Structure 1
C-alpha cells in the first residue's frame, strides 16, 4: 500500500478523486492564465502557489467531511469561473487600451498631417474616442472594474437623456460612433509609403489606410472592433 493510500484510507472513493481531478484542472488552468497575463516571475509563482493552496484546502475539507464532494466541486467550479471572468476582463481591457491608443494616434496624425483641415470632422473625434477608451480601460484594469465611464461616454449618455432617451441608448450611440470612426479611419485614403510630392498628393499617390497595415495591425483592429461589437450587442440586450 502506498503512502497516499495509507493517508486517505477508506476515503479513497470515486467522489473524492473527482474533486481531486477538478482541483488539478483548476491549478492547470490558473497556471495558463498566469503565464499569459503575469510577466513578473515572482507574482506568477505567488499566484500559482495561492491557487494551489486554495485547491488543497477544498480537498482537505472534502476529506475531513467538513463539506460534501458536491460542495467541493461547486467551490472549485466557482473559482474557475471567477478566474475565467477576470482573464476575460483583462484581455478585453488590454485590447481596449490598444484600440484606444490606435484611435488617438490616428486622430493626431490626421490633424497634424492635414494642418488642421480635417481635424474637426475626423481627427478630433478619433482623439476624443481614443482618449476615452484609453482612460476607461486603463482605469478599469488598474482598479479591477468593468463599470468605468469616461467623459466622452458621459457626454453621449447625457445627450441621449436630454433627447428623451435612456442611458443605454447613449451607450449604443457611443459604440456605434466608435465603430464608424475606426472604420472610416481604415477606409480613408492616405499617401502611399513610396509617394512623394512637394506640395500636394494626387489621387494616384494614395491608397486605403487598411492596405498599409500588416498582419499585426489588422489583427489588433479586427480584435478591438470585435470587442466593440460584442459590447454593443451586450448593451442592446440589457
Structure 2
C-alpha cells in the first residue's frame, strides 16, 4: 500500500485493529471493569476522531492511517513494557526461592550459586517494580547488583552483558541441578536412584515461563549489542 492507493476503507480497517488491540490489552491489564470500559471508550473515541477528520478532508487517508498505526505501535509498546517488567518481578521471586533451596539443600556446595540467585532475584524485583512505578518513556532502572557488575568491568556495556549472562547461567543451573525425588530417601550425595534433575520436577507452565524469561534475557543482550554497535 502507498499514499496514492490508500483510502477511507484502509483507515477504518486499521482503526478496527487498534480498537481490538485496546480491548485485548484492557482485558489483560485492567482488572477494574469501569476503568477497562473507560479505556476502551477512549480508544474508540480516538479512532472515530481520526476517521471523521479523514472523511471531512481535514487530513488525507494516508495521514489518518499513519496516525492510527503510530498509536497502535505505541499502545503495544506500552503493554509490552508492563508485561516484561511484570515477568521480571515474577522471575526475581522465583530466583530468590530457588536460591534459598539451592543454598540450603546442597551441603554447602550451593552457597555461592544460591547467593547469586538470591541477589539477582532481589535486583530483578527492584528493577521491575521501579520501572513500573516510573512508567514507560523513562530511563530503565539499574539496581545495585547491576551497578556492581558495571563497576567490576568498568564499563556499562560489559557489565550489563556479564549480568545478563550470569542470569542465563543461573537459570540453567537452577533447571539442571540435581534434586531429591519426592518421597525418596537419600543415603549418598550423588545417588542416581533417589535424585533427578530439577527440570524433571517442573511442570509445563514452569518450563514455559523459564523459557520466556530466558528469551527476554537474550533479547536484552541483543539490544545491548545493538546499542553498543550504534554508539559513536
> TM-score by structure 2 length?
0.87
Match of 1:29 in 2: 21
> Could you tell me which residue of structure 2 aligns to residue 141 of structure 1?
132
Q: How many residues align?
A: 219
Residue equivalent to 1:76: 68
**Which residue number corresponds to residue 181 of structure 2?**
192
Match of 2:201 in 1: 212
Q: Of 147, 158, 161, which aligns to 2:151?
A: 158
Q: Which residue of 2 aligns with 1:203?
A: 191
Per-residue deviation, 1:64: 2.8
TM-score (norm 1): 0.85
CA contact under 8 A between 1:157 and 1:171: conserved in structure 2? yes
Asked if the contact 2:86/2:128 (under 8 Å) is kept, the reply is: yes
Structure 2 counterpart of 1:125, from 92, 101, 116: 116
Quote the RMSD (CA, aligned, Å).
1.9
Q: Which runs of 4+ in 1 moved over 3 A?
A: 112-115, 199-202
Partner Cα separation in structure 1 for residue 13 and residue 178 of structure 2: 56
Output aligned runs, 1:50-65, within 5 Å: 50-65=42-57
Unaligned runs of at least 5 residues, structure 1: 1-13
Residues 19-75 of structure 1: per-residue CA shift (max 9 Å, x gap): 222212211121122222222222211111110111111112222322222211111
The whole-number CA distance in structure 2 between the counterparts of 1:42 and 1:124 is 44
Counterparts of 2:133 and 2:35, CA distance in 1: 16
Matched residue, 1:92:
84
Match of 1:227 among 204, 216, 224: 216
Out of 10, 18, 27, the position equivalent to 2:10 is: 18
CA distance in 2, matches of 1:58, 1:74: 10
**Structure 2 unaligned spans of 5+:** 1-5, 228-232
1:170 alignment partner in structure 2: 159
